[in-house]
A and B are shown apart, each in its own frame.
Chain A
Amino acid sequence: MSSLVKCPHCGLRPREEFTIRGEVATPRPDAGADEALWFDHVYLRDNPRGEHREYWHHSGGCRRWLVLTRNTLTHETSDVVDASTLKLGERA
């Protein structure tokens, strides 16, 4: 029916406002990086029982990409941050 996600920009919103892209993969390799790194980045995904980090896009709200840490077993969402912080560091 629904569940809620706390967008760091918009506050508590229903799951329907979000589009889920999947696991936060390894960082995008440098252009000259080894092909194996690229294969991991493009194809390698975990399917853990427990804590999982995913890209969620607030497509029905602020249109920001978020990184959501949730537990696949308990469904508990422990952290939601703007995805730009993966690279920029500080919390947007």
Chain B
Amino acid sequence: MRDYPLENRGAFPPHVAAGAGASISLAPVKGGFVIHLLGDAKSDEAALKKALAKIAPELGADVRKSAPNQWFWVGDADVSSDRLTEIQAGLPSQFALADQTHGRVRMRLSGPSSRTVLAKGTMVDLSADLFAIGQSAMTQIGHIGAMITRIEDDSFELIVLRSFAGSLWDELNHMAAEFR
């Protein structure tokens, strides 16, 4: 078989560099995984985390609830398709798994102005005392659906459908431009 080149391309155009400024920075998160976990009606997060810790302790248990009985499991390691098959096989039957590593794109918005920028898109109140580190919300940023997770004090990770990633990136850049 001919040696066809295989490249895993990101959703962002190659010329897009992470913008950094005094009070805001926006950067794509490259690599890692996003796995959609779908539980049955009786599933709970504790059981899920326990199962994940047993099957794939190396991948962490950063699970972000997106809906009742549904989570996005997110991590920075790259997961091979064989490893994914193993994990799938190891999961209790009450959980199903859909790989979204390619379908959902992560980006990080950080800096003291990050809340002000996000308030231009979402109605969710992200103030520090109401939206704790680790907390997530499925919401809309403007017209684009996204999951917002508070990562650090003034740092948020956004997960967005791949096809919308370019538009959301552009919009966030416009919204953040005044703080550069």
Instruction: Note whether A and B contact each other (Cβ less than 8 A).
Output: yes
Range of interface residues on B (Cβ < 8 Å): 10 to 19
8 A Cβ contacts from B88-135 to A: 123-124
With beta carbons under 8 angstroms apart, the residue of A11, A60, A62 that contacts B68 is A62
The answer to whether A22 has its CB under 8 Å from any CB of chain B is no
Tell which of A2, A9, A61 touches B139, judged by Cβ atoms closer than 8 Å. A61
Partner of B138, one of A14, A62, A82: A62
Interface of B is mostly: strand
- Answer yes or no: B84 CB below 8 A from chain A CBs: no
Asked whether A36 is an interface residue with its Cβ less than 8 Å from the other chain, the reply is no
Q: Check A62/B67 contact, CB under 8 A, given A10-B137, A17-B140.
A: yes
Report whether A60 and B145 are in contact in the complex, using a CB–CB cutoff of 8 Å.
Answer: yes
Whether B123 and A13, one on each chain, are in contact in the complex, defined by CB atoms closer than 8 angstroms, is yes
Q: Are A16 and B68 in contact (CB under 8 A)?
A: no
Whole-angstrom distance between the Cβ of A86 and the nearest chain B Cβ: 15
- With A13-B123, A60-B145 as known contacts, state yes or no: A82 contacts B139, CB within 8 Å: no
Find B67's partner among A2, A9, A11, A16 (CB 8 Å cutoff): A9
Please list the residues of chain A having a beta carbon within 8 angstroms of any beta carbon in chain B: 2, 4, 9-14, 16-17, 60-64, 82, 92
**9 residue pairs from A and B, CB less than 8 Å apart:** A9-B67, A9-B68, A10-B138, A17-B123, A61-B139, A62-B66, A62-B67, A62-B68, A92-B68
Q: Which 3 A-B pairs have the closest CB atoms?
A: A62-B67, A60-B140, A14-B123
